[in-house]
Amino acid sequence: MDKVRLQREAAFIRSSLLDQGYLDEQFIQLEELQDNDNPNFVEEVVTLFYTDSARLIYNIDQALLSNPTDFTKLDDYMHQFKGSCSSIGAKKVKNECNGFGEYCEAQNYDGCFRTFQQIKQEYINLKKKLETYFQLLKEAAQIK
């Protein structure tokens, strides 16, 4: 594929992510931080996010499996996770987290469990889309 085409495709993915609420303003902030000194800053941050948040997701999963359920811990992990999501602009995932927090407060295990499955789903969705996006950018950059 030629460079321009690749770039256009990447741009399309990006704007749809923003329009559909997968990503928000914060993502744009990250893009603005990117410069010649750190040409892959955004990708690095996103990669770091996914690596680090995988650990949090694992912790939450484990906490959901343990008995009795420690809602405090769950809330704590979720708080961290949410903070991370917001820092890269993962809007949809972050919003799902709010629901989880409410269930935690109400100590509603089922609610927490279900919501978390949804969170994970959104999380994976976004990850795939971003991976494609960065891949396209990379390919485009390699051309010429």
Partner 1 sequence: MNLSNVKGSTMSTPSSSGSHLRSTGDAVSDQFPAGLRVLVVDDDPTCLMILEKMLKACLYEVTKCKCAEAALELLRGNKNGFDIVISDVHMPDMDGFKLLEHIGLEMDLPVIMMSADDGKHVVMKGVTHGACDYLIKPVRIEALKNIWQHVVRKRKTGWRDPEQSGSIDEGDRQQKVSDDADYSSSANEGKSSKKRRDEEEDADERDDSSTLKKPRVVWSVELHQQFMAAVNQLGIDKAVPKKILELMNVPGLTRENVASHLQKYRLYLRRLSGVSQQQNNLNNSFMNPQDPTFGSTSINGIDLQALSVAGQLPAQSLAKLQAAGLGRSTAKPVMSMPLVEQRNLFSFESPKLRFGEGQMQHLNTNKPINLLHGIPTNMEPKQLANLHQSAQSLGNLNMRINASVAQRSPLLMQMGQSQPRGQMIGENGSHVNQLPTSLLQPTVPNRISNGVIRNGIASSSNINAAYNQVPQSSSFLNFPMNQTNEMSVRSFPLGSHPGISNITTKGMLQEEVTSGIKGSSGFVPNYDIFNELQPQKSQDWDLTTAGLTYDATQHSNHVQGNTDVSVSPSVLVHPGFTSIQQTGQNRDTTSSMGKDMFSIGEGMDQGNLQNISQPQNPLLVDNSVRVKAERVPDASSQTNFFPEQYGQEDLMSALLKQEGIGLAENEFDFDGYSLDNIPV
**Is residue 109 close enough to count as binding partner 1 by CB under 8 A?**
no
According to DSSP H, which parts of the chain are helical?
3-19, 25-33, 41-65, 71-88, 91-105, 109-142
Strand-pairing partners, residue 90, are 23
Nearer to partner 1, 86 or 118 (CB): 86
8 Å CB contact between 48 and 38: no
Per-position b or e across 19-44, b if 16+ CB within 10 A of its CB: eeebbbebbeebeeeeeeeeeeebbe
* DSSP letter for each residue of 33-48: H--SSSTTHHHHHHHH
**Is residue 112 close enough to count as binding partner 1 by CB under 8 A?**
no
CB 126 to partner 1: min, Å:
14
**Is residue 37 close enough to count as binding partner 1 by CB under 8 A?**
yes
Nearer to partner 1, 3 or 55 (CB): 55
Interacting positions 73-102 with partner 1 (CB under 8 A): 76, 79-80, 82-84, 86-89
Nearer to partner 1, 43 or 140 (CB): 43
Q: Which residues of this chain interact with partner 1, rule CB under 8 A?
A: 26, 29-30, 32-33, 37-38, 41, 44-45, 48-49, 52-53, 68, 70, 72, 76, 79-80, 82-84, 86-89
